[in-house]
Amino acid sequence: MIIDSTFWVAVSFVIFFGILIYLKIPQKINEILNKLISDIKNEIDESEKLRSEAKILIDNAQNKLNTAQSVSDEILQQAKIDSDKLIIELNDKFHKSSEIKKNLTENKINQMKEAAIKEIKDASIKIAVDSVKKIISTSVDKSKLDTLFQKNLDETKEELKKINS
């Protein structure tokens, strides 16, 4: 039998695999690979767990944000309603006070008008009484009476003009 290099390669190949099997290299490689696979699975599971926790946290934050937004909207809406009520209330108070001031002013004007008319009447009566006194006290002839009447009439007009001014 011819032993050539192919034979020795085959023999060395068988010896190599025998040594590998004897030293349990394939089992060790299998254990290492299984350990790597389980580590990768654990990392994947942990990352899935972290992802689900992150999703829960994001959902909670979004819910809080939505709640805060709705509360903010409610507060703004209530503030708008309150400000509208306040504006209406202040407007009503303004109109009521304006009406009261208007009525008071009209009453004052009416009182001043009545006082002025009374003063004019009093002055007219006084002038008339004075004129009558002068006429009676100076009962003289008709020409003097006419001049006296004219003079008293002129004085009365002047007094009325002074009062009206």
Check residue 67 and give its pLDDT. Answer: 94
69 assigned to some structural domain: yes
2 assigned to some structural domain: no
User: What is the domain extent for residue 89?
Assistant: 9-164
80 assigned to some structural domain: yes
* Complete DSSP assignment for 101-115: HHHHHHHHHHHHHHH
Check residue 10 and give its pLDDT. Answer: 87
102 assigned to some structural domain: yes
Q: Which residue type, as a one-letter code, is found at position 83?
A: S
Specify whether the CB–CB gap between 148 and 135 falls below 8 A. Answer: yes
106 assigned to some structural domain: yes
Over the chain (165 residues), what is each successive 10-residue block's mean pLDDT? 80 87 85 94 95 95 94 94 93 92 93 88 81 68 72 82 73
147 assigned to some structural domain: yes
Check residue 73 and give its pLDDT. Answer: 92
Check residue 1 and give its pLDDT. Answer: 56
CA distance 131 to 123: 12
SS3 call for 136: helix
- Claim: this prediction has a pTM higher than 0.95: no
Q: What is the tally of structural domains in the chain?
A: 1
134 assigned to some structural domain: yes
23 assigned to some structural domain: yes
* Complete DSSP assignment for 1-22: ----HHHHHHHHHHHHHHHHHH
